[in-house]
């Protein structure tokens, strides 16, 4: 009888351990999912903040600023400026080498460069641009008559990119923002080719 009780206890212990093991796996998966969702949500807020900053600049000044330098500085001065509109680290004022670094903790997740801490936009390569507002068939498409929208182009560190991770995060962002309508339409779009860019529609809404 004692042997049977011992055997039963051993069986009960194994069942309990199996249950605890399963729960720990489930809890770990749930925790990872929650962390991932919080991260994606933070990225959506980041995009929204950039869009609001650009809209505010345009409302105040009626100026479309490709490089984003006027989000933080009014040099040289333009009428109506009432910034700074967002917290960034400008690399030069708008009269110099037009560029701006966005203090961005997110794209570093898909960069293979340990020195990458944000995006730096060089002369001739703006972060705000006009593109086709309706669905694209390629990446990206220039705007057409009566079909132009301003997009915030979130550029990846060229040559130092984990493409698999980029596409995974892009798909999560697309699901969060547009309900998963794909890379080429909606408010959020992304380039899965060599360049790896995210595009967030700023205006019109």
**Which residues partner with 103 through β-bridges?**
118
pLDDT of residue 112: 52
- pLDDT above 50 for 138: yes
Sign of the C-alpha dihedral computed for residues 17, 18, 19 and 20 taken in this order? positive
Q: Are 128 and 111 in contact (CB under 8 A)?
A: no
Q: What is the mean pLDDT of residues 157-169?
A: 71
Per-residue CA distances from 112 to 100, 158, 186 (Å) = 21, 10, 29
What is the residue extent of each domain of the chain?
Answer: 2-203
Q: What are phi and psi of 14, to 5 degrees?
A: -65, -40
Q: How much is the pTM?
A: 0.75
- pLDDT above 50 for 130: yes
Q: What is the mean pLDDT of residues 124-146?
A: 84
48-73 pLDDT tens trace: 888 999 999 999 999 888 878 788 88
H/E stretch holding 8 reads helix 2-61
- pLDDT above 80 for 195: no
Q: What are phi and psi of 39, to 5 degrees?
A: -65, -45
Q: What are phi and psi of 87, to 5 degrees?
A: -90, 105
79-107 pLDDT tens trace: 999 988 887 655 556 766 555 555 554 55
Q: Are 140 and 201 in contact (CB under 8 A)?
A: no
């Amino acid at each position: 009888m004692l042997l049977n009780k011992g055997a039963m206890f051993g069986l009960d212990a194994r069942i309990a351990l199996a249950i605890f093991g399963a729960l720990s796996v489930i809890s770990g998966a749930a925790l990872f999912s929650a962390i991932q969702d919080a991260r994606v949500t933070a990225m959506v807020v980041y995009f929204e903040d950039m869009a609001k900053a650009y809209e505010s600049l345009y409302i105040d000044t009626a100026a479309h600023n490709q490089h984003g330098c006027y989000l933080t500085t009014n040099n040289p001065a333009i009428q109506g400026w009432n910034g700074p509109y967002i917290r960034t680290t400008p690399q030069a004022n708008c009269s110099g080498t037009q560029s701006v670094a966005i203090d961005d903790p997110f794209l570093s997740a898909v960069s293979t460069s340990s020195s990458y801490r944000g995006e730096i936009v060089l002369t001739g390569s703006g972060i705000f641009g006009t593109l086709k507002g309706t669905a694209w068939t390629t990446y990206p498409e220039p705007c057409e008559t009566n079909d132009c929208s301003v997009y915030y182009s979130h550029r990846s560190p060229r040559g130092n990119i984990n493409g698999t991770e980029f596409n995974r995060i892009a798909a999560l962002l697309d699901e969060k923002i547009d309900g998963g309508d794909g890379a080429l339409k909606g408010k959020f779009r992304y380039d899965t080719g060599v360049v790896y860019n995210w595009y967030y529609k700023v205006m019109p809404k």
